[in-house]
Amino acid sequence: MSLRALSLVQEKYPDAFVEQYTDRTGGAWGVLKAESLRPVLAHVKDDPQLDFKLFLSIDAVDRLQLPDNDPRFEVVYFLYSVTHHEHLRLKVRVGEATPEVPSVTSIFQGANWWERFVWDFYGIRFSGHPDLRRILMYEEFEGHPLRKDYPLRERQPLIPERPIRDIFRGPGTSGTA
């Protein structure tokens, strides 16, 4: 992980970081303020000294059962610089009352799917996202299944089967001709 990149970003945006730390495996992490996320990601993408043009993924962490769980959620960003062969890992912490983070789809087009995934499974909204709706769960699904307080034994409401044409088994197997 890139300590060099984190120090270069901190020089340019000294007020953007809440903290920086190294985890037990030696990986460097930067925790950003939510309002600094978009300018920092645009900078690490466009600055030739950094050149983090490869957007890998976004994920979230529900810290509900941890001793220090305020704020409750973390949204984690993973980037890679092909020219410098470095990884960059950044976090934004989000509260439980209105979990919302600015969307980065205008900076990294590949963030679109991942932001929808985090919304679908954790309920964290991305302000400014062009099409924030469920991506893997069906629209009538109630709740967000990767939250720690999601009831495991609760049943979802029944919905009518949608007529989907089955191209593998032939006509008539799912109610459509």
State how far the Cα of 6 lies from the Cα of 104, in Å rounded to an integer.
19
Mean pLDDT of the chain: 90
pLDDT (tens digit per residue) in 102-160: 999 999 999 999 999 999 999 999 999 999 999 999 888 899 999 999 988 888 887 77
The superfamily (CATH) of domain 3-127 is: NADH:ubiquinone oxidoreductase Nqo5 subunit (3.30.460.80)
Structural domain boundaries in the chain: 3-127
d(CA 18, CA 10): 11
Q: pTM of the predicted model, to two decimals?
A: 0.87
Rounded to whole angstroms, what are the CA distances from 17 to 40, 91, 148?
10, 10, 27
